[in-house]
Amino acid sequence: MSTPDILNPAFTQYSNDSSLITRGQIENSMLKHMQDWLPGYLGRIERLNGLTDHISPPKSWEVVNEYTRYPEEAMPFIAVISPGISPGHPPRQDSDGWVTAWWLIAVGAIVATRDERSAKDLAGYYGAAIRGAVMELPTLGGWAYGVEWTDEKYDDFPRVTERTMAAVRLVFTVEVQGVINVFGAQSNYLGGSLPPPDPYVTPPAFPTVEDASATVEPEP
């Protein structure tokens, strides 16, 4: 099993420098997927609902630490956050030492309009578009191996300066392979683990044996 290039570009070059996937890689990969696909899904929502006015496209995107801060003058705002792996899916190790983990990832949208009804509708359109962009494209651009739709919630905000705000937040469980390899520590040719002489330098690939000789003696 090999890890996706989007998360681990160095692995295919260095056989003894294995993967260590970070939370930031997971979140930023999901954010890029949203930036690539969400506008098209909003257009699909327009067609399916027969809307004559275009849905307001996202004005800002961000990976956040908590779902409480938003740029008030740059909405619709799309936020991505991952609290970690799913407690309902313990990581699984295969026979080669590669570990698959199921990450919880929340994708939210905060919108603002002039009245309550349109704010609720706009949040609903964004919720459906986010759901479609994730569930209909479960590889998320090639770095995921499956997605489960875990939760979808809508919230209303108090009226602010003649505007009404609404929000939607969806939670997904995303399967990511090759999060770590339990045999991935740097090692010598005999398989013994070694501390790196310089942790900031990519270890070289094992050399290729050009010539070899062997003596075979038949048993009596």
Number of domains in the chain: 1
Residues spanned by the domain of 160: 23-181
Q: What is the CATH number of the domain that holds 63?
A: 3.30.2000
Query: Does residue 189 belong to any structural domain of this protein?
Result: no
Give residue 55's pLDDT: 92
Query: Does residue 215 belong to any structural domain of this protein?
Result: no
> Model's pTM, two decimal places?
0.78
| Contact present, 118 and 126 (Cβ < 8 Å) | no
Query: Does residue 27 belong to any structural domain of this protein?
Result: yes
- In this predicted model, what pLDDT tens digit does every residue of 145-198 receive, in sequence order? 999 999 999 986 666 655 688 999 999 999 999 899 887 776 665 656 666 667
Q: Which residue has the higher pLDDT, 157 or 143?
A: 143
Gyration radius of the chain's alpha carbons: 24
With cut-offs at 50, 70 and 90, classify the pLDDT of residue 10.
very low
Query: Does residue 93 belong to any structural domain of this protein?
Result: yes
Q: What count of Cα atoms within 13 Å lies in the side-chain half-sphere of residue 130?
A: 32
3-class secondary structure, 156: strand
Query: Does residue 209 belong to any structural domain of this protein?
Result: no
User: Tokens 């990450």 — which residue?
Assistant: 103
Query: Does residue 162 belong to any structural domain of this protein?
Result: yes
Continuous segment of H or E residues that includes residue 37:
helix 23-49
Query: Does residue 60 belong to any structural domain of this protein?
Result: yes
- In this predicted model, what pLDDT tens digit does every residue of 93-104 receive, in sequence order? 998 889 999 999
Residue 12 scores a pLDDT above 50: no
User: Tokens 């990832």 — which residue?
Assistant: 105
Bridge partners of residue 101, in order along the sequence: 176
Query: Which segments within 12-136 are labelled E, that is strand?
Result: 60-63, 77-85, 92-93, 98-113
Query: Does residue 11 belong to any structural domain of this protein?
Result: no
